[in-house]
């Protein structure tokens, strides 16, 4: 019997290393068919999963309660598994260089607990060459085993879109690759257990690694183009959203919109590609330019806020500014690498300490990890400026009258609303005497 057959018959187990926005949905999906061990170094997170609580909101509390998963922070439990899938984050350092420490540490943990006949699959985003040049040597050193001979290795880039309840793991085509033909076949069969949209077999691990960083870099560049247009259109007094609406009537329009580009994929992956290109003597032009534009948008929006406050005859230092939404994207609780904080930083340069509201983000986690005090929108009153930074459903469901109430007794022309994602109707907002600005 093959290893995959044993997995399907629950004679062998798989492990998921890293139980965040990628690893948790992966573990839950596989647990509906096979025996799964869910491993994470964060004991508090593991305890929450054991209690049936899903802080990521990707699968929901009920599914966590029903899932037959051995949640653990004890690495020795990994010895029970024959297939290991690595889904740890791969962030960047302060100098924008790749931070491979999480994937290196995961490789060490797996290596210490690796048994002969196992398969290790990496899903974490890396630049081409990391799996074979960095991870496999660690696995071999820690385990004393030899790749291809004693264990197999593959790479299958994650494509989960946090907060997206339509494009989920099961209905997104999965790219797979292996260190040899045998591993490619086995890894393909593994993911066919849960992925219904189909499997794409890459010709090599490096091709699969490159596909991940390139698909996010492509999106980054397209959004950067729209952001650059938004900056210019602002000077021309043209509404970018109206231009995009008109442009999208053509069949081959790509439908991108301007906005803040953060998070742990689009805001990070291009730097992995840029880093490796520079090592090879090539200095990126288009990709790096796109990153610079997108990284500058928080400051640009911050300056727009100050300008609008001045036009509304507000004393900038004393202005009461409320920012609605701090997560890196809509309908998602994740605040990692959120570019909303670039807006906060710009406002603080003008001695403004904004009031932060986000019904999706975890208040306790925001305080513990980022020293952020989130408040409820109900306690907001007499604000001078509202910054609608993230298009959460809760904010989209509010009418212009609801936003106007937050200004309290302010006179007309003394109220400012900054609509970053252009989710409100400008005409309706301006009926209340509000200075409206959108990206």
Q: What is the pLDDT of residues 143-181, one digit of tens each?
A: 999 999 999 999 999 987 777 677 788 899 999 999 999
Quote the pLDDT of residue 192. 97
Quote the pLDDT of residue 1. 53
Please answer whether residues 207 and 254 qualify as being in contact, where contact means their C-beta atoms are separated by less than 8 angstroms. no
Could you please state the CATH topology (level 3) that the domain comprising 296-438 is classified under.
Answer: Rossmann fold (3.40.50)
Residue written as token pair 């609303």: 417
Quote the pLDDT of residue 211. 95
Quote the pLDDT of residue 358. 96
Q: State the sign of the Cα–Cα–Cα–Cα dihedral 374, 378, 382, 383.
A: positive
Instruction: Tell me the C-alpha distance between 410 and 422, whole Å.
Output: 23
- On average, the pLDDT of the chain sits at 94
Q: Quick check: 364 pLDDT over 90? A: no
Quote the pLDDT of residue 160. 79
Q: Quick check: 212 pLDDT over 80? A: yes
Quote the pLDDT of residue 366. 85
Q: DSSP secondary structure string, 193-238?
A: TT--S-EEE-SSHHHHHHHHHHHHHHHHHHHHHHHHHHHHHHHHT-
The predicted-structure confidence for 55-108, as pLDDT tens digits, reads as follows 888 888 999 999 999 999 999 999 999 999 999 999 999 899 999 999 999 999
Rounded mean pLDDT, 116-133 = 96
Domain(s) of CATH 3.40.50.720: residues in the chain: 3-203, 296-438
Which of 196, 206, 203, 205 shows the shortest CA–CA distance to 173?
196
The two tokens of residue 270 are 């291009």
Of 144-158, 169-183, 291-305, 357-371, minimum mean pLDDT range: 357-371
Residues with catalytic roles: 265
Instruction: Tell me the C-alpha distance between 389 and 327, whole Å.
Output: 9
Please answer whether residues 156 and 130 qualify as being in contact, where contact means their C-beta atoms are separated by less than 8 angstroms. no
Instruction: Tell me the C-alpha distance between 344 and 321, whole Å.
Output: 10
Q: CATH classification of 3-203 is 3.40.50.720, yes or no?
A: yes
Which of 135, 105, 134, 101 shows the shortest CA–CA distance to 120?
135
């Amino acid at each position: 019997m093959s290893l995959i057959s044993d997995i399907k018959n629950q004679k062998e187990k798989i492990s998921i290393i890293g139980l965040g926005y990628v690893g948790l949905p992966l573990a839950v999906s596989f647990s509906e068919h096979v025996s799964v061990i869910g491993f994470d170094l964060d004991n508090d997170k593991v305890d929450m999963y054991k209690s049936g609580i899903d802080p990521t909101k990707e699968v929901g509390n009920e599914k966590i309660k029903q899932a037959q998963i051995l949640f653990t922070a004890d690495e020795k439990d990994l010895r029970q598994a024959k297939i290991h899938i690595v889904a740890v984050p791969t962030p960047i350092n302060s100098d924008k260089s790749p931070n491979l420490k999480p994937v290196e540490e995961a490789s060490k943990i797996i290596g210490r607990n690796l048994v002969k006949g196992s398969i290790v699959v990496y899903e974490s985003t890396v630049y081409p060459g990391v799996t074979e040049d960095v991870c496999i040597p660690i696995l071999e050193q820690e385990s004393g085993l030899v790749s291809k001979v004693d264990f197999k290795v593959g790479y299958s880039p994650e494509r989960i879109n946090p907060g997206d309840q339509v494009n989920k793991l099961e209905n997104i085509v999965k790219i797979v690759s292996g260190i040899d033909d045998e591993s490619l076949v086995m890894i393909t069969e593994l993911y066919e257990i849960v992925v219904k949209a189909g499997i794409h077999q890459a010709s090599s691990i490096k091709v699969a690694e490159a596909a991940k960083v390139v698909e996010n870099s492509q999106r980054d560049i397209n959004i950067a183009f729209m952001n650059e247009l938004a900056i210019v259109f602002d000077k021309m007094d043209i509404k970018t959203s109206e231009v995009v609406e008109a442009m999208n009537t053509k069949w081959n329009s790509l439908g991108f919109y301007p906005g803040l580009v953060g998070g742990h994929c689009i805001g990070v992956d291009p730097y992995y590609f840029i880093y490796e290109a520079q090592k090879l003597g090539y200095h990126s032009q288009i990709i790096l330019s796109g990153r610079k534009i997108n990284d500058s948008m928080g400051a640009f929006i911050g300056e727009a806020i100050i300008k609008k406050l001045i036009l509304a005859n507000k004393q900038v230092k004393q202005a009461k500014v409320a920012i609605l939404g701090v997560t890196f994207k809509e309908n998602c609780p994740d605040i990692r690498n959120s570019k909303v904080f670039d807006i906060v930083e710009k406002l603080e340069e003008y001695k403004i300490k904004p009031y932060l509201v986000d019904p999706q983000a975890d208040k306790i986690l925001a305080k513990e990890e980022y020293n952020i005090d989130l408040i409820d929108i109900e306690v907001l009153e007499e604000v001078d400026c509202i910054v609608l930074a993230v298009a959460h459903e809760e904010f989209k469901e509010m009418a212009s009258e609801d936003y106007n109430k937050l200004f309290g007794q302010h006179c007309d022309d003394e109220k400012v609303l900054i609509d970053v994602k252009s989710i409100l109707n400008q005409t309706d907002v301006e009926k209340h005497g509000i200075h409206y600005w959108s990206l």
